[in-house]
Amino acid sequence: MPGPFDFALSTERFRAFGVDRASVWHEGGLHRVVGGRELRIESAPGGVDADPLDSETEPVVRALVGLAFDLEPFYAWAADDEVLREIVPPLVGFRPPIIPDAFEMLVGAITAQQVSLFSATAIRNRLIERFGMQVGSAWAFPARERIASASEDELFALGLTRRKAEYVVALARSELDLEGLAALPDDEVKAELTALRGLGEWTADWFLARHLARPHAWPWGDLALRKAVESLYRGLDVREARTRFHPFENLTAHYLLLSQRIP
């Protein structure tokens, strides 16, 4: 791992809102299911140990430990901001984890619309347990094809609202090439996503930030981020803040949010 890197801070999200069945924190390590196998990632001198590590699991490991982000330029830039220069040093080494699977990311975003992340995690776990497969300590997130064959009533029974159940099934059954979105510029990704019912700008912005790791993603519609900006930058409009935090909008958003969870 290129330094700096703090494993505990970088995996904090997987403990902050309850157990995540698809990314399980267990006995000091992070567990995922990749290709029907259980992957464990744990802290090691100079980085992490991942078992098994091969061509199939390595991209997942790289995503979950935030290797897409270059921290040193961000830290140098943040030192000139009167707020960031105070909140960043205690969080040095935090690499925002990236959700490796596009469908999982979008389903998670739909479940999190207008509810607390604790509630969203609980509902998503029921979805995973109903349609996924357990391998060791973790569960494989349900395949898109499996959800496409489900009924809206089945999802409603798990705790999703009628509308969210409709959105998830429609996404699974859509012709949208989720993997192909990675080749598109930000504005085209957002246009493709928001063309589907139930996927608004908030969801598209978080997809750019937490799946594609786009540096300029700024999910200004996120309530927690808006509260963080309002609390730390008196009088700064959250939409206008995008310009202030350029070219590190995504990293700034993650550091602002973490600073509120870990004062």
What is the per-residue pLDDT across 119-132, written as a single tens digit (0 to 9) for each? 999 999 999 999 99
From 81-90, 139-148, 234-243, the region with the lowest mean pLDDT: 234-243
Structure tokens at 243: 């310009």
Cβ of 259: how many Cβ atoms within 10 Å?
20
The domain made up of 102-199 is a member of CATH 1.10.340.30:
yes
Q: In whole angstroms, give the CA distance from residue 176 to residue 155.
A: 21
Q: Is the pLDDT of residue 263 over 90?
A: no
pLDDT (tens digit per residue) in 24-62: 999 999 999 999 999 999 999 999 999 999 999 999 999
pLDDT at 235: 86
Please provide the average confidence, as pLDDT, over all residues in the chain.
96
Q: What is the pLDDT of residue 60?
A: 98
- The answer to whether residue 182 scores a pLDDT higher than 90 is yes
- Does 111 have pLDDT greater than 90? yes
Residue with tokens 């019912």: 197
pLDDT given at position 146: 98
**Contact 216/251 with Cβ under 8 angstroms?**
no
CA distance 149 to 159: 18
CA atoms within 13 A on the CB side of 157: 8
Asked if the model's pLDDT at residue 105 lies above 90, the reply is: yes
Rg (CA), the chain: 18
Digit-coded pLDDT (tens) for 191-225: 999 999 999 999 999 999 999 999 999 999 999 99
For residue 249 the two structure tokens come to 């909008």
pLDDT at position 114, please? Answer: 87
Handedness of CA 187, 193, 195, 200 (dihedral sign): negative
Residue 87 has pLDDT above 90, yes or no: yes
Nearest to 65 by CA among 126, 23, 122: 23
pLDDT digits (tens, 9 = 90+) for 137-181: 999 999 999 999 999 999 999 999 999 999 999 999 999 999 999
